Amino acid sequence: MNIARVIVDVPASVVNQTFDYRIPERFIPIIQPGMRVIIPFGPRKISGFVMEIIAESEFDQLRDIVDVLDLSPVLTNELLQVGKWLAEDTVSLYITTYQAMLPQVLKAKYDKEVIRTSDATLHDELESLFNNKETVSYEKVTSTLSSISILKEAIETGAVKINYLVTSQAKKQYETIFEPVDRKQLIIAVDELSPQATRQREILTFFIDKHQPISQRILYRTLSINRANLNPLIKKGLLTTRKEEVYRDPYARDIEQTKNLTLTEEQQN
C-alpha cells in the first residue's frame, strides 16, 4: 500500500481525474485519504488531495510525492464522498468542490509552527528541538526529525499542535497627507508671490486659515485643484507630504434595519 491516488489542484476538465503517485518510504506511516500533498505535475510542483491509498497501479513509471502539507486529513472520508457526489451531480470539477470545503485559513498564504501544549514527555528528538521553548517552526521540525511520524504521534497524543500563521491577503490602503510649514513662513510666502500666481495664493491662504494636515482627497475636492498646482509649493518647501495608512471601519456605514416580509398564502399554509 504505497501508492496514492491524487486529485490535482488544476481546475481543468482534461485533468478531472485521479493520478497515481508513489509514496516515499518516509511518508508511508502518515499519508491518509483527505490529506493535501505536493506532487510533480508536468514541469511544476502543485498541491492535490489524496483520495485513496492502493497497493498496485496499472501504470509502470510513477513519480514520487514531494511533500505532505497536513499531518491529519483536512477532509474526512464523508467529505470526500460528498465532494465526489456533488461534482458529478452538478457537472463540476472535483478539485472545485474539495477546495470549497476547506476552511478559509487553509486557502490563505500561511506559515506553520509547532506548539507544545502539555508537559507530557516528548520523543528525544522533539524534546531537543523545543529545548524549553514553546514553539518551533514547522519547517525546522520536519527537516530535523529522523521520521515525520514522530511529530504525527505527538499531535495524536495532544502533546503538540500545529498553528497556522496566516498572511493577510488584504492590501493596506494609504492616502497622501499634505502638511504646511510654520504659519509665519506661509504668510511671508504669500506676500512674495507674483500677482499671476493666483492658484498658489489660494492654496497658501487656505493653509494659513486652516493650519493643519489634510488629506489629498479632501484638499483636491475643497479647492478643485490637482497635484500640478501643489508641486511648486512642495518644491519651495512650504508643503510636505507623507503616506498614512487608512484603517477600515466596518461600522462606518448606515445600515437600514430590515423588516419582516409579508408571507404569501402558500408560505403561511
- What would the pLDDT profile of 67-76 be if each residue is shown by its tens digit? 898 888 999 9
More confident residue, 249 or 246: 246
Q: Are residues 90 and 15 in the same domain?
A: yes
Confidence of residue 146 (pLDDT cuts 50, 70, 90): confident
Per-residue pLDDT at 170 exceeds 60: no
CA neighbor of 3 nearest in space, from 26, 27, 20? 20
- Tens-place pLDDT, residues 117-130: 887 888 999 888 88
- 34 lies in a domain? yes
Q: Are residues 159 and 180 in the same domain?
A: no
pTM value is 0.54
Confidence of residue 156 (pLDDT cuts 50, 70, 90): confident
Q: Are residues 128 and 144 in the same domain?
A: yes
Per-residue pLDDT at 237 exceeds 90: yes
Q: Are residues 148 and 238 in the same domain?
A: no
- 122 lies in a domain? yes
- 269 lies in a domain? no
- 260 lies in a domain? no
Q: Are residues 145 and 63 in the same domain?
A: no
Look up residue 206 and give its amino acid.
F
- 268 lies in a domain? no
Q: Are residues 123 and 97 in the same domain?
A: no
Q: Are residues 146 and 98 in the same domain?
A: no
Query: Who contacts 244 (Cβ-Cβ below 8 Å, separation ≥6)?
Result: 174, 175, 176, 177, 215
Look at the block and give the residue holding cell 495532544: 158
Per-residue pLDDT at 30 exceeds 60: yes
Specify the number of domains making up the chain.
Answer: 3
- 36 lies in a domain? yes
- Tens-place pLDDT, residues 193-226: 998 999 999 999 999 999 999 999 999 999 999 9
> Are 5 and 51 a contacting pair, CB within 8 Å?
yes
In CATH, what number is assigned to the domain containing residue 98?
Answer: 3.40.1440.60
Instruction: Using the 3D structure, point to which of 85, 102, 119 is the last residue of a domain.
Output: 102
State the average pLDDT for the chain: 89
CA neighbor of 235 nearest in space, from 202, 189, 176? 189
Q: Are residues 234 and 177 in the same domain?
A: yes
- 240 lies in a domain? yes
Q: Are residues 7 and 95 in the same domain?
A: yes
Q: Are residues 85 and 19 in the same domain?
A: yes
**Measured between alpha carbons, how far is 228 from 216 in angstroms, rounded to an integer?**
13
Query: Who contacts 52 (Cβ-Cβ below 8 Å, separation ≥6)?
Result: 4, 5, 18, 33
Q: Are residues 88 and 129 in the same domain?
A: no
**Measured between alpha carbons, how far is 71 from 50 in angstroms, rounded to an integer?**
12
Q: Are residues 41 and 28 in the same domain?
A: yes
Q: 213 lies in which domain range?
A: 173-246
Q: What are phi and psi of 31, to 5 degrees?
A: -70, 130
- 267 lies in a domain? no
Q: Which pLDDT score is estimated for 177?
A: 94
Q: Which pLDDT score is estimated for 34?
A: 95
Per-residue pLDDT at 109 exceeds 80: no
